[in-house]
Chain A
Amino acid sequence: MSALFALDQVSVVRGSGNAHTHALSDVRLEIESGTCTVVVGPSGAGKSTLLRLLNRLEDPTSGQLLYRDAPIASYDVLQLRRSVGLVQQRPILLAETVLADLRVAVPTLTVDDATELLRQVDLLPEFLARETGGLSGGEGQRVCLARALSLQPDVLLLDEPTSALDAFAGHAVEEVLRGLTGRGLTLVMVSHDLHQAARLADVVVVLVAGRVADAGPAARVLEQPAPEARTFLAGVS
């Protein structure tokens, strides 16, 4: 079975001339459909940049990025983003009530559909009428997840979705993500938490200084990492 995403020698260079820096360098990576891939690495390793490439918030400076065996730039970008959703690090709510927020992506969303979305992220139907300004961080992040799910995406990209939350709220979001992986949705998640990676990931990718230091089955990478990844993993575990 071919990979859902295939990155071949992908680099992202910022700036120009002597002031340029490599956000990503010669990244080779394959992401399979229906898996949960967790990307870990130190700050500035290029984790968020990698996510942004996968729904074309950025383009590679060089290299090839395929989605379903075709160059990702060959897809209609608006359709691509509806099938490859992204949830940002901090909950960003876009309307005054939860129902209105869920309808930002799908204006025709019915109350029943919205209720079902809330159920998927473990929120009660009463939340539909709640003002978004009064939500806690964890509730807000789950509404953002529900909003992304309203588009029925094939892939969900998550940029440290629990890092801005307290432990309780983070655990609640993690439970929702576990439920999504159980339904076969492809998840690609950036995380700084190796324990979270161990709990959720099928595949772990270790990025260090813009390069893939190691990638493979979660158990193998976390227990027997490649030498390039060992320093980082030993430092945070």
Chain B
Amino acid sequence: MTSAAVTAASVTGVSVPSWPAVAVSFVLVVACVAVVARERLGLAREVMIAAIRAAVQLVAVGALLQWLFHHAGLAGSLGWVAAMVLVAGGVSARRGRGLPLARTVSTVAIAVAVTVTLGLLVAGQVITTHPRVLVPIGGMVVSGAMQATSLTLLRVRDAVSDSRAQVEARLVLGQSGADAFAPHLRAALRTALVPTIDTTKVVGLISLPGAMTGLIIAGVAPLEAIRYQIVVMYMLLGAWAVAALVAGRLVERVLFDDAHRLRPLAPAGGRQSWMTARPLRVPARSRS
């Protein structure tokens, strides 16, 4: 299904709740608060704040997207996606705290995954560059790439922390840093890719995914809606793989200095800068 078809379908026969209807749905929040209060869980205030906060956030995002769709054009959409990449890079970097250049690695990995995935979809005319398409699809890709990057960095950090002796046992045999770390990187990448592979396997069986659900609610025939969902699943699979691979390869490079030594993790709460992560100088003369 082309994005033009989605647009056409979404404006015909769609039943979107009115504001009074939304207010009626708030009864469910009140019921939730009542249950929480009755069970004395001490969470009533938190539930109420969460519900109101969600509404305020969504209204703000809705207004912003509405402006974006009508006035910002392609440049605004790309700017929005770029901003999402920067935020996601910061979030992922926290999972790799202590690794050299974690923020740079995570941001670059997500950016490459988003560029490759969206680029291929646009170039293959699978999606259009209309903000109404690019922004939400971009959001899905950024989110998937962020999760893959986070998992990769988390596992790599664990490997550096727990398996330093194993890595050094390979280094002292004359293996390069990349070769010595290869078994640990493979394990990290497998871990990063397993969730999306499993999700792809069971899609439609144990859950109806969001994009497909949205289209069906908007009035699109299920057999048409699944076409979009298939594209989304393949897109996410690609984004996860590219993000995990780029994050893994980049972090592997910054983990070792020019003499193929595994750098130490920055202390908890510490932050490794470009200066401290700079490769050590080694004389150019080689006597191999």
Chain A residues near B (Cβ < 8 Å): 55-59, 70-71, 73-79, 81-82, 85-86, 88, 90, 92, 94, 104-105, 144, 147-148, 151
In the assembled complex, the CB of A153 is this many whole angstroms from the nearest CB of chain B, namely 9
Instruction: Identify which of residues 145-172 in chain B touch chain A, using a CB-to-CB cut-off of 8 Å.
Output: 165-166, 168-172
Given the known A-B contacts A75-B287, A77-B260, are A92 and B173 also in contact in the complex, defined by CB atoms under 8 Å? no
Q: Are A55 and B286 neighbours in the complex by a CB distance under 8 Å?
A: no
Say whether B174 faces chain A, with CB atoms less than 8 Å apart. Answer: yes
Residues of B within 8 A of A85 (CB): 172-173
Say whether B13 faces chain A, with CB atoms less than 8 Å apart. Answer: no
Q: Are A148 and B173 neighbours in the complex by a CB distance under 8 Å?
A: yes
- A sample of 28 inter-chain contacts (CB < 8 A) reads A56-B261, A57-B168, A57-B171, A57-B172, A70-B287, A74-B285, A74-B286, A75-B286, A76-B286, A77-B260, A78-B176, A78-B260, A81-B171, A81-B173, A86-B172, A88-B165, A88-B168, A88-B169, A88-B172, A92-B166, A94-B166, A104-B170, A105-B173, A105-B174, A105-B175, A148-B172, A148-B173, A151-B173
- What residue in chain A is nearest B169 (Cβ atoms)? A92
Say whether B288 faces chain A, with CB atoms less than 8 Å apart. Answer: yes
Chain B residues near A (Cβ < 8 Å): 165-166, 168-176, 259-261, 280, 282-283, 285-288
Residues of B within 8 A of A90 (CB): 165
Contact among A76, A81, A151 with B287 in the assembled complex (CB-CB below 8 Å):
A76
The total of interchain contacts (Cβ-Cβ below 8 angstroms) comes to: 66
Which of A77, A79, A85 has the largest count of B CB atoms less than 10 A from its CB?
Answer: A77
Residues of B within 8 A of A105 (CB): 173-175
In the assembled complex, the CB of B10 is this many whole angstroms from the nearest CB of chain A, namely 56
In the assembled complex, the CB of B259 is this many whole angstroms from the nearest CB of chain A, namely 5
In the assembled complex, the CB of B288 is this many whole angstroms from the nearest CB of chain A, namely 4
Residues of A within 8 A of B280 (CB): 59
Assembled-state Cα–Cα distance A86/B280 (Å):
22
Residues of A within 8 A of B173 (CB): 81-82, 85, 104-105, 147-148, 151
Contact among B165, B169, B282, B285 with A77 in the assembled complex (CB-CB below 8 Å):
B282
Assembled-state Cα–Cα distance A88/B165 (Å):
9
In the assembled complex, the CB of B19 is this many whole angstroms from the nearest CB of chain A, namely 61
Assembled-state Cα–Cα distance A151/B171 (Å):
13
Residues of A within 8 A of B259 (CB): 56, 59, 73, 77
Q: Are A58 and B174 neighbours in the complex by a CB distance under 8 Å?
A: no
In the assembled complex, the CB of B203 is this many whole angstroms from the nearest CB of chain A, namely 35
Residues of A within 8 A of B166 (CB): 92, 94
Assembled-state Cα–Cα distance A55/B174 (Å):
10
Residues of B within 8 A of A148 (CB): 172-173
